[in-house]
Every structure is written in structure tokens, then in C-alpha cells.
Amino acid sequence: MGTLHRGRQSIVFDRRPAILSAAAIGGKKEREGPLAAYFDETTADTTFRQLSWEKAESKMQALALESAKRKAGLHDADLDALFSGDLLNQCISSSFAVRDTGVPFFGLYGACSTMAEALILSGMAVNGGYARIAAAMSSSHFASAERQYRFPLGYGGQRTPTAQWTVTGAGCMLLGQRDRGPCLRCATVGTVVDYGIKDAANMGAAMAPAAYATLRAHFDDLGRSPEDYDCIVTGDLGAVGKAILLDLFRRDGVALEAIYDDCGVMIFDLERQDVHAGGSGCGCGSVVLCGYLLRKLQKGELKNLLFCGTGALLSPLTTQQGESIPGVCHAVAIEGGRV
């Protein structure tokens, strides 16, 4: 077997790990947004009948995993590896969600890039024969994130125009070997990029340079270009970060407008839903991919998608200590196909 490594940061999935199934669970605001119809389950009760926001987030991951397994006709015992993460301290949503499953578990922390990181590692596991079936999963919850990163909800803190709204949602995708349907083709692993942005209420600006760097590396490493994709999405740059990314490419003479969008812009009606610069969080890109984009890939309406998870690697403590906000972006190329 030869090397599957390409250039500085990229890898090729020569056995084309297939997406067997996926599920997206959303909260109340997501249910009121433009992509509501594409989610497997949404709720008007964002506690998901749990006693805390953290338990609610964990419950969402459990529901997403359950739904993805059911769709594929699989059980816990069929899963050889599960890669997941979230935004909560010590990634408790993920570890508590899977503690009754008995599935071999890899905990990840990639901030909001986690779903792309999980997909790359699941793809490596299946492509390399380390797992017959692997799961990639991530979640975020507006209420658990607000009180951890910013203020308790009851405080009623004012939000700045560049702030984003953490998506309440969990997405799960199962990968395995199958000769039809959407599959992973290649991926680019991000490096940590820090342009010195210090405003924790402007994460789009902090992450956009990382998205730019990863996309450039993707095209260079793999000899690909924007024309090879009918859709490129970032996870949660929001309206501010999206504009910056388009501008960075415009300076290179590359017009991405026609094929590029951001999941944080897509998931909400920014004006009507009062979410300022758009959605964010581990769950944002995750549910847009597992809900909306995958259906397009399965119907053949999308043929080549580049999903770019974007993460801001800050903590409340680094911000208090005056640190800037490093970003990271992982990109996965997914080919469409009828199931």
C-alpha cells in the first residue's frame, strides 16, 4: 500500500468510505429557521426533558446517534469506533452521551471544527481497515454555551453586531464500506492560524484566516480548484467571517460567491431571527451537513461538496488573559451519489 498523504496537509481516501446514514437534531430556534424541514427531529422544548442544559445537550447527541443507527439498520454493537466532541468543558456532552453504548470512543476537541475533524478520523479509520463502521458526531446547545462562555441567560446580556448565536443541535454520521451513495474522497487537515483577533464576540474574523489557509492548502496539495466543487461551505464563519473569506479569495483573483456559503448564515434567517452575524457552534455545521447538505448529495442535486469545519480555539480564560484567538479549519471533500 502506498502513501495516502498529499502535500503539506492533505490525504486521499482511496477506498471511498461511504456515508451509510446521518441524523440531525435541532432545537427551537432551528425549528423556526429556513432549514427546519431537513432535520430529523426538532423540539420546542430545548431542555429535551432533562434537568439541565448540559444533560439536554448530551441527550441530543444520544438522539442523533440513535436516529443515525436506526436509519442504517445498525446497532451499537456494529460500531467499531465513535469520534465525537462538543464545546463544553471536558467535552461532557459527548462522553455522557455514549456511556451506555459500549462503542469504542475517541473524544475530540476541535471547537466548532469538530464535525470535520471527526469525519476525517472516521474516514481514516474506515479507509484504513481499522473500523468496519465508524461514527462522527458533534453538538452544541445555545443555553449551555452561553452560560459557560459568556453570561447566564437570566442576566440578559446585550450582544454585539458581530456576535453569533450558538446553534442548539447535534449531528451524527455513520461511515462504512458501500458501493453507492455519498462518500468521502479526500481531506485537508488544518493548522492553527492566529491573526491576532482578540474580540471574543467576533469569532468569524478570528476563524476566516484559518478557513482561507486550509482552502488554499487543499487546492495546492490536491491539485484541485474551486471549479471542482459545486458547493463549498464553511461551518460557522457567520456573515462577518463569510465576507472576510470572500474578500481574501478576491485578492487572489478567485471569485467564490457562486458556490460558497456558510452554515451559520444558512441555518437562520439572520434578520427575522435576530441572530446578528449568524449561527455558530459544533452543532451548526454538523446539522446543516447531516440534515440539509447530505439530502442534496443523496438526491444528486449536489455532486461535489467541500465541507470546511471552522473552529475558534479560545477559552474564556485565554480571553481574560489578553490572548488572541487562534483558529483552525478542517476540510472534507464529499462526493454525491444516489443511495
> What span, in angstroms and rounded, lies between the C-alpha atoms of 65 and 85?
13
> For residue 62, what is its C-alpha cell?
444520544
Q: Exposure of 125 by Cβ count < 10 A (0-12 exposed, 13-18 middle, 19+ buried)?
A: buried
Residue 170 found at the interface with a second copy (CB under 8 A): no
Backbone angles phi, psi at 327, to 5 degrees: -120, 160
CB of 136 to a second copy, least distance (A): 13
Question: In terms of CB distance, is 210 or 305 closer to a second copy?
Answer: 210
> For residue 273, what is its C-alpha cell?
431571527
CB of 170 to a second copy, least distance (A): 17
Query: Could you give the 3-state DSSP secondary structure of residue 256?
Result: coil
Q: Which of 36, 74, 109, 150 binds a second copy (CB under 8 A)?
A: 109
Question: In terms of CB distance, is 133 or 293 closer to a second copy?
Answer: 133
Could you tell me which stretch among 20-28, 80-88, 244-252, 278-286 binds a second copy (CB under 8 A)?
Answer: 80-88
Residue 331 found at the interface with a second copy (CB under 8 A): no
Residue 232 found at the interface with a second copy (CB under 8 A): no
DSSP assignment string, 36-101: GGGSSEE-S-TTTT-SSHHHHHHHHHHHHHHHHHHHHT--GGG-SEEEEEESSGGGHHHHHHTTTT
**Number of residues lying near a second copy (CB under 8 A):** 63
Q: Binding to a second copy (CB under 8 A): which residues in 2-61?
A: 2-5, 8-9, 11, 51-52, 54-55
Question: In terms of CB distance, is 81 or 263 closer to a second copy?
Answer: 81
DSSP assignment string, 8-44: TTEEE-TT--EEEEEEEEE-HHHHTSTTGGGSSEE-S
Residue 132 found at the interface with a second copy (CB under 8 A): yes
CB of 256 to a second copy, least distance (A): 23
Binding mask 177-196 for a second copy (x = CB under 8 A): ------------xxxxxx--
> What span, in angstroms and rounded, lies between the C-alpha atoms of 35 and 75?
28
List of residues contacting a second copy (CB under 8 A): 1-5, 8-9, 11, 51-52, 54-55, 77, 80-81, 85, 87-92, 95-96, 98-99, 101-111, 117, 121, 124-125, 127-132, 189-194, 313-318, 321, 323, 326, 328
